[in-house]
Amino acid sequence: MVKDGVMQNVSSIFSVHVFPTIPGGSIGIRYGALTAAADDLELVIMGESGHGARPHEAIDAIWIASQVITTLQQAISRTQNPLRPIVLTIGQINGGRAPNVIADQVRLLGTVRSLHPETSATLPNWIENIVSNVCQTYGAKYEMNYRRGVPSVQNDPALTQLMEAAAEEAWGRDRVQLLMEPSLGAEDFSIYLDHAPGTMFRLGVAFADRPNYPLHHPQFHVEESSIVTGVVTMAYAAYQYWLSR
């Protein structure tokens, strides 16, 4: 859509996303970082195959891959600013051909999440330095493919304040929440924010009398009467923005 010109001559942009932990019909406002940058990580650890009874004659790619994972997780807490969170999750591992054969190759797939753009910019080199050092220590080789995903949603302060005021005027203070914590989920609304300032608010869709399942859960449902709340809030914020120009 950006390539097709949808953001041409756009001065500001508003967005809404449902949220199942906020009561239906309420609004969640967040200043600053709302969601995380989300990148894809692929690592291939290459060793040398051998008989499972003679590990000293081989280079065990599975064991080295486990060292890579452990070192990355431990290094986050010792080398990264704890006030700037990073979540690195290896969600898929493939390797090995038989139970009594030392694997010569392991493929790791994962996701890397962070909230601060400055931190996000350093992560590929930080990860590769650790992987390189572990592999060099044990005689393995590696290939790394780090693919940038979507950046973090950084809500514009002035537009967020406008959104908060519009929601309060439309629905009352008791139906507007200030969200103290961001989400480490990802949102491609951030790509629009590369072209214009904007803000995204959360629309509460939780039921008062039944279980509320998380986003993307197969049993996720919304309190549909909340849709009116979202539409009115979005329209009234746009109207207030137009008046302020």
Overall domain count for the chain: 2
| pLDDT tens string 158-175 | 999 999 999 999 999 999
- Which pLDDT does position 167 carry in this prediction? 97
Report CA-CA distances (Å) from 156 to 37, 71, 153, 168, 190: 16, 36, 9, 18, 11
- pLDDT higher than threshold 90 for residue 18: yes
Q: Which of 41, 39, 36, 17 is nearest to 27 (CA)?
A: 17
Average pLDDT score over the chain: 96
DSSP state letters, 160-223? HHHHHHHHHHHH-GGGEEE--S--SS--THHHHTTTS-EEEEEEEEE-SSS--PPTT-TT----
| pLDDT tens string 97-150 | 999 999 999 999 999 999 999 999 999 999 999 999 999 999 999 999 999 999
Q: 169: domain CATH number?
A: 3.40.630.10
| pLDDT tens string 50-88 | 999 999 999 999 999 999 999 999 999 999 999 999 999
**Residue 86 lies inside a defined structural domain of this protein:** yes
pTM of the model: 0.86
Do 126 and 204 fall within a single domain?
no
Do 127 and 173 fall within a single domain?
no
Q: If residue 148 lies in a helix (H) or strand (E), which one and from where to where? A: strand 141-150
Which of 150, 175, 204 is the last residue before a domain boundary? 150
Q: 124: domain CATH number?
A: 3.30.70.360
Do 52 and 123 fall within a single domain?
yes
**Residue 4 lies inside a defined structural domain of this protein:** no
Which of 101, 121, 150 is the last residue before a domain boundary? 150
Do 135 and 79 fall within a single domain?
yes
- The boundaries of the domain holding residue 44 are 37-150
| pLDDT tens string 202-223 | 999 999 999 999 999 999 999 9
- pLDDT higher than threshold 90 for residue 36: yes
Which of 97, 122, 150 is the last residue before a domain boundary? 150
**Residue 123 lies inside a defined structural domain of this protein:** yes
3-state secondary structure of 23: strand
Q: If residue 157 lies in a helix (H) or strand (E), which one and from where to where? A: helix 157-171
| pLDDT tens string 180-200 | 999 999 999 999 999 999 999
pLDDT band at 245 (very low <50, low <70, confident <90, very high): confident
Do 41 and 146 fall within a single domain?
yes
Average pLDDT over residues 230-242: 97
